[in-house]
Structure 1
Amino acid sequence: MSSLSRTRAEFEAAWHSFIRRRTAVFFTFFFPVILIVIFGALVTTDPTGGGLFTEPSEYYLAGYLAVVVLFTPISRVGSTVARHREGNRFEKLATTPLRRTEWLLAHTLVNAVLVGIASAILIAVLWALTDATFTLSPLLVPFVLIGSAVFCGIGAILGRVADSQDGVIAAANTIALPMLFLAETFVPPDLLPGWMGPVIDLLPLTYFSRGVREVTVAGGPWTTDLAILSGLALAFFLTGAYALPETD
């Protein structure tokens, strides 16, 4: 059985496992709609002409996509790793030809598909319910897929170091929530203290939001952001695969 066959088999198993959990399916794809409705109302409500959420609607497309790219992979992969550890699944997998890199690649591909579908729903809802004007660039695809891979790797690391599924969720929220608002998503950098500039540049999500904004709104250079995001994806994927336990 080749590496491709093993990865495909694990992908199909992980996909069917997700499809069987109807609540997870519902909230994975309905969450973008809730997000647009809530933040869309905030963006279009600007009685004073200042403060947060006063940029044009299209400015926040990168932020909306960042929510899906960040939270879906980091929580799903982290919880899956923790659940496998609690059920001694990795000990059983160690008796099969499936390698840790193949296991994580399969789950990364599943999450990339889910994030891609959720992102498409989000863009459609944003287009239908707001006055946002942006370019639907094909470059969105690599940014979404590679961004998902970054946080799948981080999720695998959290699943390894946390002691339970609840611990994974707590750790994921502790990392993701500050990153969501600091990584040039919903809050423009000029509204943040100047000393936070170096911190912003250290956040993986920053290069996703910058790149997405360049290809959809600003029309500026995006290659550096995509290159850095790709390097981070490779680094976190390899670290996450190495962190996966062979036995429990």
Structure 2
Amino acid sequence: MSAYSALTRATYAASVRDKTTLFFTFAFPLAFLVMFGLIFHGQHVEGGLASINYIAPGVLSWGVGNAAVFSVGFALMQWRRDDLLRLVWRTPTPLRTLLASRWTIALAVAGAQTLLFISVALLPFFGLRLDGPWWAALPLLVLGVTAFLALGLVVGSLADTPEAVAAIANLLMVPMAFLSGSFFPDDLMPGWLRTAAKVLPLHYLNEGLTDAMGGRGDLGDIALDCAGLTVFVLLFGLAATRTFRWSNRT
């Protein structure tokens, strides 16, 4: 068995074993989907798009990004605190293999979240209709998970305690969710805030999934959102390499 396969299996086993985290990874965002789906049931946003076609992709974007940031942020902090990273440094297994196994599990979680969200949103009461090129959601999810995983690496490198990881990650993700329009239509915000949101990665993941699954845009719009996410993958990846530490003592 290769090192990548062994690490992926170990990461999967550790994720499944933590029942509480696993439950809230899926249940917490789903609760927002149900709540906002009930609040805006039967309503439409600017342009005539049904509210559920806006809410479902938005909450899904936040759920996927949140899961990626928190999972790798906590893991990296714990690996460094327990000196596991220094042990990896002394083995033939490169760090990129360890991170690749975490990336694979994050993609699997995002895929499971997407299937769950879409299944609930497609129920007759909520009435989601996949009118757009829904298959284009796949590259958006891959790029989105990669970007937020890289952001999680930065968070995990800066924080030395679980409390610090939670504080930094929430400080980043909660305001980003509101500014990017994940919880409510962004046309309710002032124009300058909508413009400011364009410097946030969640904006592009949210916009892209709404175009793909909600039927609001076309492939050209989705390609621009993919390009925006690619920029954040590079930026956060560069920041992660600059902030990474093998040990709390260095």
Amino acid at match of 2:140: F
Q: Which moved more, 1:191-200 or 1:169-178?
A: 191-200
Residue 159 (structure 1) aligned to one of 149, 152, 156: 156
The answer to whether the aligner puts 1:181 opposite 2:166 as a matched pair is no
Pick one of 12, 36, 56 that aligns with 1:61: 56
Aligned residue among 118, 128, 145 for 1:132: 128
Which residue in the other structure is 2:102 paired with? 107
Q: Deviations for 1:76-95, whole angstroms, at most 9, x for unmatched residues?
A: 11011111122111111111
Q: Which letter maps to 1:243? A: T
Aligned partners of 1:189, 1:41: CA distance in 2, in Å? Answer: 18
**Count of residues in Structure 1 that have an aligned counterpart in Structure 2:** 240
**C-alpha offsets along residues 171-216 of structure 1, whole Å, 9 cap, x if unaligned?**
1000000100111333333322222244211001111111111112
Q: Output the CA distance in 1 between the equivalents of 2:243 and 2:88.
A: 15
Q: Secondary structure at the match of 1:158?
A: helix
Q: Give the 3 Å change call, closer, same or farther, for CA 33–204 of structure 1 in structure 2.
A: closer
Deviates more, 1:32-41 or 1:157-166: 32-41
What secondary structure does 1:219 align onto? Answer: coil
CA distance in 1: counterparts of 2:155 and 2:240, whole angstroms = 9
Shift of 1:159: 0.7
Contact 1:100-1:244 at 8 Å conserved across structures? no
- 1:73-222 correspondence to structure 2 within 5 Å: 73-128=68-123, 129-135=125-131, 137-216=134-213, 217-220=215-218, 221=220, 222=222
Q: Taking structure 2 as the reference length, what is the TM-score of the superposition? A: 0.86
| 1:133-185 Cα distance to aligned partner (Å, 9 max, x none) | 22371111121121111111101110111121110111100000010011133
Gaps of 5+ in 2: none
CA pair 75-182 structure 1, distance change in 2 beyond 3 A: same
Q: How many Å apart are 1:57 and its aligned residue?
A: 1.6
User: What secondary structure is seen at the aligned counterpart in 1 of 2:196?
Assistant: helix
Question: Do 2:147 and 2:229's aligned partners in 1 also have CA atoms closer than 8 Å?
Answer: yes
Identity fraction in percent: 26
Matched residue, 1:21: 18
Runs of 5+ consecutive residues of structure 1 not aligned to the other structure: none
CA distance in 2, matches of 1:134, 1:173: 31
Structure 1 residues 98 and 247, CA, compared in 2 at 3 Å: closer, same or farther?
farther
Q: Secondary structure at the match of 2:54?
A: helix
Distance in 1 between residues matched to 2:244 and 2:3, nearest whole Å: 17
Q: Distance in 2 between matches of 1:229 and 1:99?
A: 26
1:19, 1:8 → 2: CA distance? 16
Moved more, 179-188 or 65-74: 179-188
1:247 and 2:243 are equivalent in the alignment: no
2:129 maps to amino acid: T
Tell me how far apart the structure 2 counterparts of residues 34 and 120 of structure 1 sit (CA, whole Å). 15
